Amino acid sequence: MIDILAQATGIGGNLHIAIGAGAAAIGVGMIGTKAVEAVGRNPGASGKILVQSILGMALAEAVAFYVIFLA
């Protein structure tokens, strides 16, 4: 009985990390997609768009690190 609970706890923790990391990956992908679309519409603003997209991706990746280190 105790072994089953230990295994369930381990699976739950791993699932928690997988969901958090997956959400961060989806967020980074959406930011990248929208940045490419924005540069396609206005190539002159590519420098500003690049800076904003890098900041957004860094914040999205921070969520993954929070999930990994606090789990």
Query: What are the pLDDT digits (tens) for 31-61?
Result: 999 999 999 999 999 999 999 999 999 999 9
Higher pLDDT, 38 or 10: 38
Half-sphere exposure of 11 (CA within 13 A, CB side): 6
Do 59 and 27 meet the contact criterion of CB atoms below 8 Å apart? no
Q: Higher confidence at residue 9 or residue 50? A: 50
H/E stretch holding 53: helix 46-70
Task: Give the ranges where 1-45 is alpha helix by DSSP (H).
Answer: 2-41
Sequence ranges of the domains in the chain:
2-70
Report the distance separating Cα 9 and Cα 14, nearest Å: 9
More confident position, 39 or 7: 39
Question: For the structural domain made of 2-70, what CATH number should be given?
Answer: 1.20.20.10
- Residues near 24 by beta carbon (within 8 Å), at least 6 away in sequence: 60, 61, 63, 64, 67
Q: What is the pTM of this model?
A: 0.77
